[in-house]
A and B are shown apart, each in its own frame.
Chain A
Amino acid sequence: MNNSLPFGRDAQRAERVSLSFNLKTNTMSDEQIRNLEEIFEARIARDEKIEPKDWMPEKYRKTHIRQMSQHAHSEIVGMLPEGNWISRAPSLRRKAALLAKVQDEAGHGLYLYSACETLGVSRDELYEQLHSGKAKYSSIFNYPTVSWADMGAVGWLVDGAAIINQVPLCNTSFGPYARAMVRVCKEESFHQRQGFEIMLKLCNGSPEQKEMAQDALNRWWWPSLMMLGPTDAESIHTEQSMKWKLKRKSNDDLRQQFIDQTVPQADLLGLTIPDPDMKFNEETGSYDFGEINWDEFWQVVKGHGPCNKKRMKDRVGAWEEGAWVRDAAMAHAEKNEAKKLKKAI
């Protein structure tokens, strides 16, 4: 992909640049690449979308595969903690809504894997990276869902934080990613409202229900703040990502936005944010908050959270147990092709 000729709006200019393209080795001189990169960066600066067939720097391609696949993996690993409550949902209405939600996440995984495929990497390769532990997914899904209220808290806080992360990506430079995000964000905001509504019902219910809701908030609050990424001082690759519109605000800004949006919602529920230092700051118009336990964050990121092993075991297990099914589907399709061919002759 990276060495092919460009087909975008700048095709003509780019063609001139690559006239002396070395046909034998199929490579370009450093200068040719530099010129193409300039044209490329200019397109992004003009807010043009980059499409899969356009020329792009190798680093752009790799960075996008990494970020989009990480996002895809998060969607499908994220099905597990919520899938955990489908069989025990407390009412038929909730069961149906939860099934639909988890199914949406599977759909998000699909669009995102497909977006990755446009960059020349197969879904199987990406799974391999997930299963071998080479690829990361959102660490939040390494926490257990231990009560029904967790279905509320996850929707409200985790989908809520995901939206804060993803809305800016609706304008990212890579076309397929931007378009996937538009659709995904619509559904995520539906999930968030649904999660909030589960919490609201609990908070207006019996003392046990309200306690269940508070307990869920206590457990999910800090991990949700961590979901917005390490603090800016420790965050790498930000500058390049800003230029490519893969990242439009810093982690700390996103976190503040999430807190400012969520604290009034907790008030509305009558729940207490588990942070004694949380206080509205009249000067900044934002909430000040306490110290995040980054040791815990890194522990979970490095694979030692409460459910890291379980999540991977479930994913790898489903994949390995499904191998004979996928093989059969392939074999059946090949047989059918052969039959059709025979008929045609």
Chain B
Amino acid sequence: MKQNNLYNYILSIADNSLILGQRLGELCGHGPTLETDIAGTNISLDLIGQCRNYYQYAAKVQGEGKTEDDLAFLRLEREYKNVLLVEQPNDHFGYVMGRQYLFDVFHLLFMNDMLNSKDETLAAIAKKGIKEVSYHKRFSGDWVKRLGDGTEESKAKMQEAIDDLWTYTDELFDMTEADKAMVSEGVGVDVSKLKEGYYKEVSQLLAEADLTVPESKYFTRGGKKGIHSEHMGYLLADLQYMQRTYPNMEW
């Protein structure tokens, strides 16, 4: 394939949205209030919508006549390139909002940059996505503040989630081969440059939420290389169940 880097690049962005959308979808009907359920479903819907745009585009770039569903459902675990952060489970609502916020801050910075991509399709997806992602960040950030500056119990739980998820933040800024190639062509986002702004913004909100910014300098990475956490196989077992059980059918 001529445009291998572009194809891999699009997939890696798409996978983040798909996997996070999948995680949020698992919660539908089980949230702490009807309102949070509706909002969580909304975010999931936005992310699934975004990943469809990416996969459709990736399929076109690949040029092998594959569909969005082939790409979303029929790869091996090692071929999914989402960051570890988005596949982390819905342990409790603090984790759900923490995971969301830690991703949303990155996602918005990323989209804002992708707006300037030389690739018109990616720029157009970013243009559409920025409004959605700004809303996601406001929603998750508000909840981090509420839980951090709520009760003793909620503060402890929110801190626990931030402490546990922090280890996955640094990977967001890793540059893969595809990233580097796409940056050099003016198509991709140089995520390494987003790092400073990211930690500054997150630290500010955590302070506002009366939470402690974790000091750990040890980070866990792997998703971008396709080496996932133990959770991923189960997530994919659900996600791929129908496509694997009933191959080559239309739904």
Give A contacts to B, CB under 8 Å: 76, 79-80, 83, 86-96, 99-100, 102-103, 106-107, 109-110, 113, 148, 198, 201-202, 205-206, 208-209, 314, 317-319, 321-332, 335
Contacts and interface: CB of A to CB of B under 8 A. Distances in A.
A90 B26 contact: no
A319 B29 CA distance: 11
A302 to B, nearest CB: 24
A269 to B, nearest CB: 16
B249 interface: yes
A148 B251 CA distance: 10
B225 interface: no
A43 to B, nearest CB: 33
B51 interface: yes
Contacts of A76: 29, 34
Of the candidates B30, B52, B72, B243, the one having the most CB atoms from chain A within 10 angstroms of its own CB is B30
A206 B28 contact: no
Of the candidates B26, B32, B93, the one having the most CB atoms from chain A within 10 angstroms of its own CB is B32
Given A83-B28, A88-B239, A325-B147, 20 more contacts: A76-B29, A79-B29, A83-B30, A87-B26, A88-B241, A92-B51, A99-B41, A106-B37, A148-B242, A201-B250, A206-B246, A209-B246, A321-B92, A324-B157, A325-B36, A327-B150, A327-B151, A327-B154, A328-B151, A331-B154
Contact of B153 (A107, A208, A318, A328): A328
Given A87-B25, A332-B145, A324 B48 contact: no
B5 interface: no
A208 B242 CA distance: 12
A102 B32 contact: no
B149 interface: yes
Of the candidates B55, B149, B151, B157, the one having the most CB atoms from chain A within 10 angstroms of its own CB is B151
B251 A103 contact: no
Given A325-B93, A332-B149, A96 B238 contact: no
B28 A99 contact: yes
A79 B30 CA distance: 9
Contacts of A96: 45, 48-49, 52
Of the candidates B31, B51, B145, the one having the most CB atoms from chain A within 10 angstroms of its own CB is B31
A96 B148 CA distance: 32
19 contacts: A87-B26, A89-B242, A90-B69, A92-B55, A92-B69, A92-B72, A102-B41, A103-B28, A103-B38, A106-B37, A110-B38, A205-B250, A314-B29, A325-B33, A325-B93, A325-B154, A327-B153, A329-B150, A331-B150
Contacts of B32: 318-319, 321-323, 325-326
B42 interface: yes
Nearest to B239: A87
A205 B249 contact: yes
A83 B133 CA distance: 24
Interface residues of B, number: 47
Contacts of B16: none
Contacts of B127: none
Contacts of A321: 32, 92-93
Contacts of B35: 110
A140 to B, nearest CB: 16
B162 to A, nearest CB: 15
Contacts of B251: 90-91, 94, 148, 198, 201-202, 205
A328 B35 CA distance: 15
A238 to B, nearest CB: 31
B153 A95 contact: no
B28 A95 contact: no
Nearest to A81: B29
Interface in B225-251: 238-239, 241-243, 246, 249-251
A324 B36 CA distance: 14
A111 to B, nearest CB: 11
Nearest to B26: A87
A94 B68 CA distance: 12
B129 to A, nearest CB: 15
B150 A328 contact: yes
Nearest to B67: A91
Contacts of A94: 251
B88 interface: no
A90 B242 CA distance: 5
A88 B242 contact: yes
Given A99-B45, A106-B37, A328 B147 contact: yes
A99 B37 contact: no
B243 to A, nearest CB: 6
Contact of B151 (A83, A93, A102, A331): A331
A91 B22 contact: no
B8 interface: no
Given A88-B241, A209-B246, A332-B146, A318 B68 contact: no
B44 interface: yes
Nearest to B51: A92
A108 to B, nearest CB: 10
Of the candidates A99, A107, A201, A205, the one having the most CB atoms from chain B within 10 angstroms of its own CB is A99
Given A86-B26, A87-B25, A206-B246, A109 B41 contact: no
A227 to B, nearest CB: 20
Contact of B30 (A91, A198, A206, A314): A314
A106 B30 contact: no
A327 B150 CA distance: 8
A318 B45 contact: no
